[in-house]
Structure 1
């Protein structure tokens, strides 16, 4: 009799980047405190009253930097979000109307918001497969979209899951060495099965001279099967940039991307991605069109099954009308709400921790879970892990009691991260966004309860993307819209805050 025990591998050791500065002040607040104190001391040599007039405004400016939400935002950032929302409402930017009867030039149904600046082109990879390229002229970025059909975790040995996770980690580590890669986005989209594909496969094959009972059974299967099934699509969007000051023709960049696609697809297959292929410009336009108008999902599948193509172009992939509210985004035949990750699971988790979140949710039209990755180059990774290691050692040796115990745990995690990075592992910043689309405003409350239950099972902490629902909805589409690339405040200044 065997006495071997089954060991289920767990995963973890993700850590929020440590903010420089004293406590919650941040680097900018720390400099402000020390500079203000020095100025106050110098003024106090002249007059105590003048020093008081210097100290009070300084306190008014610094105190909002010390009050932070669970996801690390201070009062200035919250105020800036509300001011931005009020400005958009005063300008009418939260409303969007397109088409022949709108005031938009051309009379086309172009995508709104951040997508309005994107231009679509198409190239062919080494296997002569078409792939779409989304170009953002303002940011000078190029995005390709890969589609895959993951094998899934059902009836899979734990050892195989561990191999897939290791291969996925290697694939992410490789992204940090991809020249000029800005970021990656993995989108898992689920929706109730419309039954169009099943009907197109089964109904034409029913013989007229077949027994009546057999024909009745097949038609009943076509009618009832979609109610208990769902469709799942997985997309990976990779966004590349161009060096500042470098002038390259678009055709050269498309050719370079075509040479990279086979290697990227090979890594996905090894990580359990199943059948993987690049998405053509038409397929990308279809994904966007269905996201804004879920009612036409069946028509798109039917047209593709009957004619092999839909003929949809990027200029007509947007909605006819869209309205952004504080907590929702209404578009054509659906209304959506998006949630943002505020806290990753603490401790270690198993490989199936996100299974419930990724599966189709009941009473929803569509649900998208987007994992955003920001690879860090090896040189910067080494500096970050060493800085975290020194900071963790300082906290572990300067605290007492429970604070010292938690600091010691952080020090062990920092030591493990430094050892893994030295052994060749990649360092990646990540986040997660969830978009749920329903039919009516009343169903949003049920969708919120569903997401709350799913996040509890996944050990995540999410918050609604209030006052930026339209932009958050766009970021969950596989189009390479990276949030940190589309902010008014530079990334370096945000980290200092």
Structure 2
């Protein structure tokens, strides 16, 4: 039995959704509104009982939508705001985007649309004299760097090594909580069928003209058939920084500051099993965005890089020629995409391979991106959150006398474990997950959606389509540092209290 326990695969988990303050599903704002309404009704009752009844009916009608929530915690008002925003964008014509010399946009360039329209790109050099691109989100005054890596696969790797990688990744995420001015990070894993361009450029020029015909035929057949059964995978890590409140810094000074941080960040990624890692140049970032909007040019870009060493593509030409956003799809140049948002993370514990199927290439799709979004929480706020969750879990478990539930007891143990880990130096990070699938035509989108749903079931994830937000969700899954919580009209603190 001891030997079996020693060789068992380790499990991971203990992620928890922070408890919402307030009475039941009302939230903090709804709870304050309820008590305010009660006090107001008591005062009005001193003058007119009939008026109190009318006011009570109106108050119930206004507060009831705050108590009706979906599985992912959204109330009726939040869902209504999404519908109203979609109708406004549609009436203004902003769901359609045109660019290029014949478009009404000045400059005649192919700038990326939507959340990326105000992004500017700069370039610097790190301590190893490697060029790296910096995306300046001028609307929010945020700066993003992109790291590219080639993670080591999990096949033929001991479970102890996998466990060490996971622990190192946890330490790297905990370190982000101490990164000055860091607003968020993301890991984007992009997969696509292999075009065969790289293999052909490597093999065909090396075939000797005097080689036997049989050998030449074999190598040419390998080049022709191998891409049909293979795929390419790219992993990108983005880190988005802000400017501390009250400080005014030049963009050049921020680029210099980021250059000093890159070597340490790369070392942490390598220790966590990230394999060879390096920052992406401005040209490489533009190429990634260009291929995402127009998958048909992927082979051309690979060909240009193999033959000429680069494409010379700049950010202002990395966008699509035209896009059309629909309720449940996003049409862009040579592709049609659909995105999903995380609703519920896997309950309980999971093994290290839980996301393997989701991250691998999906048959019948042109490209697929899985984006993990992280929002590090500073140590002081982390301590308050874990203690509040601990008290809330204990209260819920003890308030149900006579019917102790297994879920309440499990939540108490999870909250206690989180509090202990945080007190011993672990970091607290909020995370979410988004998935974008791109196909060639709208008719293929439904089959791709079925494939994604099957992959989500294998990963024990519950996700919902980003209906009426497809363009924004598409941008969030690109390695460009778009943080959804930074672009909401309602402040994040108020949204959490709803």
1:243 CA displacement: 1.3
Q: Which residue of 2 aligns with 1:131?
A: 132
1:231/1:378 CA distance change after superposition, 3 Å: same
* Whole-angstrom distance in 1 between the partners of 2:139 and 2:224: 48
The structural deviation recorded for 1:400 is 3.9
What residue in structure 2 maps to residue 7 of structure 1?
8
1:44 corresponding residue in structure 2: 45
Inter-CA distance 40–244: structure 2 relative to 1 (3 Å threshold): same
Shift of residue 445, structure 1, vs aligned partner:
0.7
Corresponding residue for 1:174?
A: 175
Sort the Cα spacing of 1:50 and 1:156 in 2 relative to 1 into closer, same or farther, 3 A: same
Pairwise CA distance, 1:402? 5.4
Q: Matches of residues 240-279 of structure 1 in structure 2 within 5 Å? A: 240-279=241-280
What is residue 233 of structure 2 aligned with on the other side? 232
Q: Superposition RMSD on alpha carbons, in Å?
A: 1.1
Alignment of 1:41-190 (within 5 A): 41-190=42-191
What is the CA-CA distance between 1:54 and the residue it aligns to?
A: 1.5
Secondary structure of the structure 1 residue equivalent to 2:351: coil
Distance 1:403 1:243 in 2: 47
The answer on 1:20 being equivalent to 2:21 is yes
Shift of 1:401: 5.5
Query: Distance in 2 between the 1:479 and 1:402 partners?
Result: 50
Instruction: Specify whether residues 267 and 381 from structure 1 end up closer, same or farther in structure 2 by C-alpha distance, changes over 3 A only.
Output: same
Distance 1:328 1:2 in 2: 53
2:341 corresponds to which residue?
A: 340
Does residue 416 in structure 1 map to residue 417 in structure 2? yes
Post-superposition offset of 1:385: 0.2
Aligned to 2:179, the other structure's residue is in SS state: coil
Structure 2: distance between partners of 1:308 and 1:412? 55
Any stretches of 5+ residues in structure 1 without a counterpart? none
Structure 2: state its 5+ residue gaps.
none
> 1:429 — aligned with what?
430
- Where 1:442 maps in the other structure, the secondary structure is helix
The CA deviation string for residues 313-343 of structure 1, in whole angstroms up to 9 with x for no partner, is 0000000000000000000000000000000
Alignment partners' CA distance in 2, 1:407 and 1:22: 17
What CA distance in whole angstroms lies between the structure 1 residues aligned with 2:163 and 2:405?
Answer: 33
Contact 1:396–1:405 under 8 Å retained in 2: no
CA contact (8 A) 1:290 1:296 kept: yes
Give the Å deviation of 1:141.
Answer: 0.5
Contact 1:189 1:369 in 2 (8 A): yes
Query: CA offsets, 1:107-152, max 9 Å, x none?
Result: 0000000000100000000000000000012211100000000001
Distance in 2 of aligned mates of 1:320 and 1:403: 60
| Equivalent position SS for 1:222 | helix
The alpha-carbon distance between structure 1 residues 385 and 11, as it changes in their structure 2 partners (threshold 3 A), is: same
Instruction: Please state whether the residue corresponding to 2:298 is helix, strand or coil.
Output: helix
Partner of 2:472: 471
Q: 1:144 to 1:217 in 2, by over 3 A?
A: same
1:245 CA displacement: 2.4
CA apart distance, 1:17: 1.2
1: CA distance, partners of 2:404 / 2:486: 36
CA drift at 1:57: 1.2
Partner of 1:323: 324
Q: Does 1:306 align with 2:303?
A: no
Give the Cα–Cα distance (whole angstroms) in 2 for the partners of residues 405 and 202 of structure 1.
60
Q: Measure, in 2, the Cα distance between the counterparts of 1:327 and 1:67.
A: 24
Give SS of 1:347's match. Answer: coil
Q: How far apart are residue 45 of structure 1 and its match?
A: 2.0
SS at match of 2:312: coil
Determine the C-alpha separation between the residues in 1 that align with 2:2 and 2:494.
59
